[in-house]
C-alpha cells in the first residue's frame, strides 16, 4: 500500500499542473473583439489620431510620464504614415510599400530603409531590428483576437462605460505579466477608443492610448506616403538592435 501511495503525488501533480492552464474567457468579450477585428479587416484605408502616455523609470526608479499625439493613416496593405509629436520630440514615419523613412523633425535627419512588402511585415521587421514603435499597431493584426486568446489567461467583459461622451464596451485581459484594458466604441463602427497596458512585473508601469477622429476608407493619395527629404535634411546611418 505504501509503495502504491508513492504514485499519488505524481497523479496529483499532474492534475494540479494541468489546471493552471485553464483559461477564463468571456464569450461576450471574444465576440466584441472578433467584431472589432472584422471592422478593421474590412477597412481599405483609415486615418485616426492617438493620444498616448507612456511611463518610464528614471535612474532613481521614479516614474516619468511621456506624452505624445500621433496622426496615423493606413491605405491598402502597404501604405502607412505616422506623425508623432510629444515630449520626446517630433517624428514622422513614411512607408510606401518598398521603403520606410523615419524623419526626425527636431534634428532634421532621417533614415531610409528597404522594407517588406506589407505594412504588418514592415512593422514587425522594423520593431524587431530597430525597436521602432508604431502606436496602436496591435489592433491591426488580422489575428488580433486569436493572439489575445493565446496570450491571456483571462479575458473579461466589464460592461459599458462612457468615454468622452461615447458609449464604449470595456474588456479586460490579464496574464502573469500584464493587464490590458480595452474600450471599444459602441458607435456605428466597433473601433478601439482607448487601451491601457499595465506591466505588473515592472513597477506597474502603464501605457495608455486614446483614439479619436476615425475616418473610415478615406481616399488618401499615394504621394502622402512618399517621403521627400526637406531641405538640408541629412541621411544618416542606423545601428541594428542585435
Of 45-104, binders to another protein (CB under 8 A) are 45-46, 52, 54, 58-59, 74-78, 88-89, 96-99, 102, 104
Per-residue binding letters, 147-166, with another protein (x by CB under 8 A) = xxxxx---------------
**Distance between terminal CA atoms of the chain?**
58
What is the rounded distance in angstroms from the CA atom of residue 150 to the CA atom of residue 143? Answer: 10
Closest among 143, 212, 202 to 177, alpha carbons compared: 202
Among residue numbers 187 through 216, which ones bind another protein (CB under 8 A)? 197, 207, 209
Say which residues have a Cβ less than 8 Å from residue 44's Cβ, sequence separation at least 6.
75, 76, 217
Q: Which CB, 150 or 165, lies closer to another protein?
A: 150
> What is the nearest approach in angstroms of another protein to the Cβ of residue 163?
19
Cβ distance 26 to 156 under 8 Å? yes
The reply to whether 186 sits near another protein by the rule CB under 8 A is no
**Distances in Å between the alpha carbon of 31 and those of 40, 155, 183?**
14, 11, 14
- Residue recorded with cell 485616426: 48
The reply to whether 119 sits near another protein by the rule CB under 8 A is yes
Q: Which stretch binds another protein (CB under 8 A): 33-41, 159-167, 184-192?
A: 33-41
Q: Which CB, 165 or 176, lies closer to another protein?
A: 176
Amino acid at each position: 500500500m505504501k509503495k502504491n501511495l508513492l504514485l499519488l503525488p505524481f497523479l496529483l501533480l499532474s492534475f494540479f499542473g494541468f489546471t493552471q492552464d485553464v483559461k477564463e474567457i468571456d464569450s461576450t468579450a471574444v465576440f466584441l473583439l472578433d467584431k472589432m477585428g472584422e471592422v478593421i479587416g474590412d477597412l481599405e484605408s483609415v486615418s485616426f489620431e492617438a493620444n498616448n502616455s507612456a511611463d518610464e523609470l528614471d535612474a532613481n526608479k521614479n516614474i516619468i510620464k511621456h506624452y505624445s499625439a500621433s496622426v496615423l493613416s493606413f491605405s491598402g496593405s502597404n501604405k502607412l504614415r505616422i506623425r508623432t509629436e510629444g515630449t520626446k520630440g517630433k517624428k514622422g514615419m513614411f512607408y510606401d510599400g518598398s521603403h520606410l523613412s523615419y524623419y526626425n523633425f527636431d534634428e532634421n535627419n532621417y533614415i531610409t530603409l528597404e522594407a517588406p512588402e506589407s505594412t504588418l511585415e514592415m512593422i514587425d521587421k522594423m520593431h524587431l531590428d530597430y525597436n521602432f514603435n508604431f502606436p496602436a499597431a496591435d489592433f491591426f493584426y488580422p489575428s488580433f483576437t486569436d493572439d489575445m486568446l493565446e496570450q491571456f489567461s483571462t479575458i473579461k467583459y466589464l460592461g459599458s462605460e462612457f468615454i468622452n461622451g461615447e458609449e464604449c464596451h470595456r474588456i479586460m485581459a490579464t496574464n502573469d505579466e500584464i493587464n490590458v484594458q480595452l474600450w471599444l466604441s459602441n458607435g456605428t463602427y466597433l473601433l478601439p477608443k482607448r487601451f491601457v497596458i499595465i506591466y505588473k512585473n515592472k513597477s506597474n508601469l502603464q501605457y495608455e492610448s486614446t483614439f479619436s477622429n476615425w475616418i473610415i476608407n478615406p481616399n488618401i493619395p499615394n504621394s502622402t506616403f512618399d517621403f521627400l527629404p526637406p531641405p538640408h535634411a541629412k541621411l544618416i546611418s542606423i545601428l541594428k538592435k542585435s
